[in-house]
Amino acid sequence: MAETRPTHLSNSELPIPDQHFELYGRFWSVASLLIFSLAAVAVLIANLNELTWREWTVAALSIGQGLLYFFCITRGGWPVSRRNLALYFVGGICMWGMASWLDPFPWWLGFTYFGQMFGLLPLQAVIPGTAIVTFLLALITSDWNLRQIPLGAAIGFTFQWLAGIALYLFIYNIIRTSGERAKLITSLEAAQKELELARQRDTELATLQERERLARDLHDSLGHALVAISVQLEAIQRLYKVDPETASAQVDELKHLTRASMDDLRRSLAGLRAPGLGERRLSEALQALIVDMGQRAHLEITCHVAESADQLSPTQAETLWRVAQESLVNIERHAAARTVGLQLEISSNSARLSIQDDGLGLPHDAEKQPGHYGLRGMRERVEGLGGTLTLSSSGNGSRVDVELPIL
């Protein structure tokens, strides 16, 4: 019988639950202690009619081997330290050899050490250790005379040792492979959880950035317009008493300002209602965005989206969608453009999005100017995925280029 807990793999690396591993180790500990105890009892019973100091010494040495196992292996804790392993096997084999020299009866205890080495020692110590035990078994069975070992017995012990080593190596590789697979599965599960958390954080961050942008837009457009309308209404109220014509002209201006504010509000609400990419495919979402923008802003928009665009990761697709949305909204509000071109190309290692218009172009240092939060948000999204965003402008319009790496 043998102790079979491998020291080269911790119990956390084995493909079995910890509680099962603990019960498994306790079983073999109890079995090993019983073997040594039964050996002591058996040698006394076998020589019950003529007990001498030899039999009592052999029994004591068998008990001593069991005690050594208890203190070095069972009570030593898991994993067993190298010092305890060396003490147990060197001391135990010496006591077994001495007992077998006094009386060959307990020679079979060598098979216990043979099996325990497979379970307790690392690979580099198993081969020489089991070879020594096998040699001692052959020597004991030949009455400690090396020349008296029969050829058949020598071949049998050698074959037994080779078969044991082959079986051990087979089981060792299975356990090691299972442990590596368990580690890999654990790592993959942890990576999957981290990716899911990162995706949730990106979604939450995108939502917060979108809310901040819309809040700033409403404040800069509608908020300022309401203040201006309030001031003009007070002025009109005073002017009607002294200069009705001027007051009437200001009412016309107020109507124009109100209509412009309503247009800004509609655009902001359209951006507020615009959902994220969600479960939609990127190509479909871009086509829908272009159709809606073209009809609303009376723009002539051409679009070319690569067929493989829908194979991008959700985070990359969401980023490209948001950049396209923000770019088209900026064109509608500020560019006074007539035509817009959108192109999305996919290569083996990158995705390239280009949006070009024939409008007024971007002002100098547009990203640094107050109110251009959308441009900053676009750059943060793109650079957060390791990509690049390039803004270019001339008298013939502006161009937005985005390149995202594909891993």
> What's residue 14's pLDDT?
42
Instruction: Spell out the residues 6+ positions from residue 86 whose beta carbon is closer than 8 angstroms to its own.
Output: none
Strand order from edge to edge, sheet including 300-305: 300-305, 339-346, 350-357, 397-405, 388-394
Average pLDDT, stretch 220-230? 70
Cβ density class 313-344: b for 16+ within 10 Å, e for less = eebbbbbbbbbbbbbbbbbbbbbebeebbbeb
Does residue 4 surpass a pLDDT of 50? no
Neighbours of 115 (CB within 10 A): 20
Q: What is the pTM of this model?
A: 0.42
Third-level CATH fold of 279-407? Heat Shock Protein 90 (3.30.565)
Q: What is the DSSP string of 91-122?
A: HHHHHHHHHHHH-SGGGGHHHHHHHHHHHHS-
> What's residue 350's pLDDT?
92
> What's residue 1's pLDDT?
40
Q: What residue segments make up the domains of the chain, in order of their start?
A: 11-149, 279-407
pLDDT, tens digit (0-9, with 9 covering 90-100), for 263-295: 767 766 665 555 566 678 899 989 988 888 888
Based on its alpha-carbon atoms, the radius of gyration of the chain, rounded to whole angstroms, reads 42
Q: What is the band of 345 on the pLDDT scale with cuts at 50, 70, 90?
A: very high
Do 116 and 1 contact (CB within 8 A), yes or no? Answer: no
Identify which of 18-32, 75-89, 339-353 has the greatest average pLDDT.
339-353
- Helices (H), ranges, 47-108: 53-69, 82-102
pLDDT, tens digit (0-9, with 9 covering 90-100), for 96-107: 889 889 888 888
Q: What is the band of 362 on the pLDDT scale with cuts at 50, 70, 90?
A: confident
> What's residue 368's pLDDT?
63
Do 406 and 368 contact (CB within 8 A), yes or no? Answer: no
> What's residue 372's pLDDT?
55
pLDDT, tens digit (0-9, with 9 covering 90-100), for 235-246: 788 887 788 888
| Separation between Cα atoms, residue 175 and residue 163, nearest integer Å | 18
> What's residue 2's pLDDT?
42
For residue 79, cis peptide bond before it (omega within 30 degrees of 0): yes
Question: One-letter amino acid identity for 349?
Answer: N
